[in-house]
Amino acid sequence: MTDHTAPVQALLLVDLQRAFVSGAEAVPDAARLLRHSRDLLARARAGGALVVHLQNDGPPGAADEPGTSGWELSLPVEEHGREAVVRKTEDDGFDGTALGALLDGAGVRAVAVCGVMSEMCVAATARTALARGHRVVLPHDAHATYDIPARPGVSDAVPAVMVSRVAEWSLGDEVEIPAHAAEVTFASAGHG
């Protein structure tokens, strides 16, 4: 069993954009998600970890279309060498972006992942991080998604909390899933 209390050197905040975490179209319990993500962000900064805000560029007319209020990041970005924004158009934050080069260049071996959507962008990004040889920590209370609506003849509605848990399970036993974001610790690369 892996010790998920060992520090990580980077925090990946996945698509914490206004369209998904505020207003009538926010994921269920968005306030909890933002509270835990803010805490992770503050502690990552304090620990000298690399912070990467992934920002999805949705297609024209989407809630996260670039330039719209829904596209804007919900948490503030500190513009300096240990924090970056990486824009993406695919679920996987590594696909067609500089994310891999950023992590490699900073000497990152372990990452914590938080954000939305659990079964889409969060899982896809975590899966590629694992495939690239990173240790991945996915705190259970720091990612979220929407309910899956019922589909006659297929299934009843699936609550968002169950969708998020299935997303964790789908990542296999390599991903570390602490119950609480508060269990995650941070250090700069070269430490921990």
- The catalytic residue positions are 121
Q: How far apart are CA 41 and CA 11, in angstroms?
A: 7
Q: Which of 77, 95, 96, 94 is nearest to 85 (CA)?
A: 77
Q: Name the strand (E) or helix (H) holding 40.
A: helix 30-46
Say which residue the tokens 């596209």 belong to: 71
Q: Phi and psi for 80 in degrees, rounded to 5?
A: -160, 180
Say which residue the tokens 């240790």 belong to: 135
Q: Phi and psi for 10 in degrees, rounded to 5?
A: -150, 150
